[in-house]
Amino acid sequence: MFRLDRKVAIVTGGASGIGKAIANLFVQQGAVVYVLDLDDGGTSLDEGVVDGRAHFLKCNVSNQAEVIDAVAEIYGKYKRIDILINNAGIAHIGTAETTSEEDFDRLMSVNVKGVYNCLHAAIPYMQEQGGSIVNMASVAALVGLPDRFAYSTTKGAVISMTLSVAKDFLEYKIRCNSISPGRVHTPFVDGYLAKNYPGKEAEMFEKLSKTQPIGRMGKPEEIAQLALYLCSDEASFITGCDYPIDGGFVKLNT
């Protein structure tokens, strides 16, 4: 079950964190995986799972020309694209009052336009044989979070795009779903704590972990397992859905 043999997958933002966990798992399950990221370290997928099926292309998802070229290169080599994981994204802390125009535009460019660019480039190729798209949203799109105005805005747009794509491409057997993680322990979290709470990292990590009813942060591998299911043939009856994976945050905190 949950094999991806002979499938070609694109994972944006796959150089670290959730994206890297997805790329690693998909390779393990038989897929050819292309990581699209600005991070040159994107080739450093876990040792032992590469086997010639993990590749890296440096790409700025907010630049449509770069995305179109990257996707065309992948299709040119394999003559198919089966899976698209729109994972690349950036965060921001601020309210509607404190968020600058520059920061708002930056988040929209990556988190919204970046998803659009990848959809726009990949869907024409996916129509040939069908496939699965997973967009990474967030619990920030589902509940009100303090100081996450711009970030929440972009993730709400991601869920809306998911529904639209799922509806528009039913006849081509393209399924489109989204995942809304709660707090997940990634390098971003460690960097955030080191920058904003020097000397108190462990204390703040524990505090953030306990904001989720289950009492801990998620692991990137747990998000990857949900992405695997949604992209597998076992999920062939699922489209147009958003899946919170949040340790009970959305339903048990309200």
Residues with catalytic annotation? 151
Q: What gap in Å lies between CA 233 and CA 4, rounded to an integer?
A: 8
The tokens for 114 are 């970046």
Q: What gap in Å lies between CA 79 and CA 75, rounded to an integer?
A: 5
User: Would you call 39 exposed, middle or buried from its count of C-beta atoms within 10 A (0-12, 13-18, 19+)?
Assistant: middle
67 touches 75 (CB < 8 A)? no
The tokens for 246 are 């949040």
Residue with tokens 């989720």: 212
Element at 135 (helix H, strand E): strand 131-136
The strand pair at 32-37 and 8-12 is best described as parallel
22 touches 47 (CB < 8 A)? no
The tokens for 13 are 């933002």
DSSP per-residue string spanning 149-211? HHHHHHHHHHHHHHHHHHHHTGGGTEEEEEEEE--B--HHHHHHHHHHSTT-HHHHHHHHHTT
Residue with tokens 């996916």: 126
